[in-house]
């Protein structure tokens, strides 16, 4: 047992201590504002205040950020301390860490900066380049996990008897099904339109392929599901699939949720994996549409829908997450950027969404994604071999931190055709490395 002292106890402080000390370090701790109880406690102690109270305590002077309420314009300072980018650096001499790791962690995981006014990209998204992490060069580092390690090292130096509960590396392969099939499951109108477009663009090979698929003479190129399921079986994994069930639109191109092919696919995947909703582009700003799409998924899988990922990774704080909670969705996998690889919330471990406007933690668990296939291929313009090296580095770092590695692929990116030629090898290398590491630690 460890005792943490703070003159003022707030919801922000409780939430952050539960994440950093409880979740990341596995510490059993209590929080108190009772000075006498702190002075008389026998065991490991942490003083989160400006005044030293006992010898050998770990003193972390607070920045004051966790005592604030609501959202106000604020950009914390960033300082490199022993090779790590640290927010809310302390000017006080003699402080062991040199910064306030609790304020820093809360600022990042709460996505405080996304509550402030910003100019969205063409899809209305908060861009990676606008983030404090990108501007200060630490977007690709899960700094919150490293902050926890800094605290652990300082505690162990003072209290060699302290015990941290062991954690293990975990791997969650996830898939967005934006377009279930290239040709199957479309009505005659969309099929005819596709043929006409191919004809006038001179793409006659796709016309032949389309008809061979429709005549059951060839497998649909986007039908990579059996291949994925075989890979999960090989490494003892259970994956997460997110199906787009919205109406057809400019940014929502999936086949109809009424299609027999689509419904058979969802039911099949649901037998082997966790299935969730992939809210459409239109549902991001329309709570009614989100409810309709969630209900469609519920009817298809004949069970409650608990998992989601936003189409185009569109997030609007706090509204997106509030709407998910209203639909009883308790796990979201949208925490990442489309244009940049890295850690949008500065962490490679799951955490609960904290609603800053209400100053309350919620029951919505957020799973940060480590990378998306399209980010590597389309935004970073990496070749398959380069992507393999990047992904290996990500996996090994998350392993060292005992974090959770969440990959994001699409069914079409595993087709071994067109612009995705050669990317199956990237996927297979990832599955082998991450799958073997998880097997070794389980």
Profile the chain (442 residues) by mean pLDDT over runs of 10 residues.
Answer: 97 98 98 98 97 95 97 96 97 87 98 97 96 98 98 97 94 97 65 48 57 71 96 97 93 88 96 97 92 97 97 96 98 97 97 98 98 97 98 98 98 95 98 95 78
pLDDT attached to residue 203: 57
pLDDT value, residue 193: 47
Give the pLDDT of residue 132: 98
Q: What is the pLDDT of residue 197?
A: 62
- Quick one: pLDDT at residue 196? 46
Using one digit for the tens of pLDDT, what is the confidence trace for 129-185? 999 999 999 999 999 999 999 999 999 999 999 999 989 999 999 999 999 998 785
Question: What is the predicted pLDDT for the residue at 94?
Answer: 72
Q: Assign 3-class secondary structure to the chain.
A: CEEEECCCCCHHHHHHHHHHHHHHCCCCEEEECCHHHHHHCCCEEEECCCCCCCCCCEECCCCCHHHCCCCCCCCCCEEEECCEEEECECCCCCCCCCECHHHHHHHHHCCHHHCCCCCCCCCCCCCHHHCHHHHCCCCCCCHHHHHHHHHHHHHHHHCCCCCCCCCCCEEEEEEEECCCCCCCCCCHHHHHHHHHHHHHHCCHHHHHHHHHHHCCCCCCCCCCHHHHHHHHHHCCCCCEEEECCCCCECCECCCCCCCHHHHHHHHHHHCCCEEEECCCCHHHHCHHHHHHHHHHHHHHHCCCCCEECCHHHCCCCCHHHHHHHHCCCCEEEEECCCCCCCCCCCCCCCEEEEECCCCEEEEEEEEECCEEHHHHHHHCCCCHHHHHHHHHHHHHHHHHCCCEEEEEEEHHHHCCCHHHCCHHHHHHHHHHHHHHHHHHHC
Per-residue pLDDT at 437: 94
pTM of the model: 0.94
């Amino acid at each position: 047992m460890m005792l943490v002292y703070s003159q003022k106890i707030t919801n922000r402080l409780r939430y952050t201590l539960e994440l950093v000390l409880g979740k990341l370090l596995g510490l059993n701790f209590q929080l108190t504002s009772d000075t006498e109880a702190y002075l008389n406690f026998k065991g490991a102690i942490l003083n989160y205040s400006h005044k030293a109270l006992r010898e050998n305590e770990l003193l972390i002077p607070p920045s004051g950020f966790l005592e604030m309420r609501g959202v106000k314009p604020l950009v914390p300072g960033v300082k490199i301390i022993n090779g790590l980018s640290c927010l809310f650096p302390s000017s006080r001499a003699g402080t062991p860490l040199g910064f306030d790791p609790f304020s820093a962690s809360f600022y990042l995981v709460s996505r405080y900066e996304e509550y402030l006014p910003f100019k969205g990209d063409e899809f209305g998204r908060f861009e990676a380049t606008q983030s404090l992490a990108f501007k200060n060069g630490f977007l690709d580092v899960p700094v919150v996990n490293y902050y926890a390690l800094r605290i652990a090292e300082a505690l162990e130096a003072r209290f060699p008897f302290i015990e941290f509960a062991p954690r293990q590396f975990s791997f969650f392969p996830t898939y967005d099904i934006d377009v279930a099939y290239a040709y199957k499951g479309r009505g005659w109108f969309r099929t005819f339109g596709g043929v006409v477009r191919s004809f006038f663009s001179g793409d006659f090979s796709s016309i032949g392929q389309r008809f061979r698929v429709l005549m059951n003479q060839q497998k649909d190129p986007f039908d990579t599901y059996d291949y994925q399921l075989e890979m999960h079986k090989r490494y003892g994994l259970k994956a997460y699939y997110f199906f787009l069930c919205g109406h057809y639109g400019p940014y929502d191109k999936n086949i109809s949720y009424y299609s027999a092919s689509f419904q058979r696919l969802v039911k099949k995947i649901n037998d082997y994996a966790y299935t969730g909703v992939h809210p459409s582009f239109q549902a991001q700003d329309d709570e009614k549409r989100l409810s309709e799409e969630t209900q469609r998924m519920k009817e298809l899988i004949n069970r409650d829908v608990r998992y989601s990922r936003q189409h185009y990774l569109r997030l609007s704080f706090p509204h997106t997450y509030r709407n998910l909670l209203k639909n009883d969705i308790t796990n979201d996998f949208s925490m990442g950027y489309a244009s940049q690889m890295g850690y949008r919330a500065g962490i490679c471990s799951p955490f609960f969404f904290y609603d800053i406007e209400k100053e309350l933690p919620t029951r919505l668990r957020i799973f940060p994604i480590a990378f998306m296939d399209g980010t590597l291929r389309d935004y970073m313009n990496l070749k398959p071999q380069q992507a393999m090296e990047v992904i290996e580095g990500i996996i090994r770092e998350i392993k060292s931190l005992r974090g959770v590695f969440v990959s994001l692929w699409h069914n079409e990116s595993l087709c071994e055709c067109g612009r995705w030629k050669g990317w199956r090898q990237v996927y297979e290398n990832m599955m082998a490395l991450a799958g073997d590491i998880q097997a070794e630690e389980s």
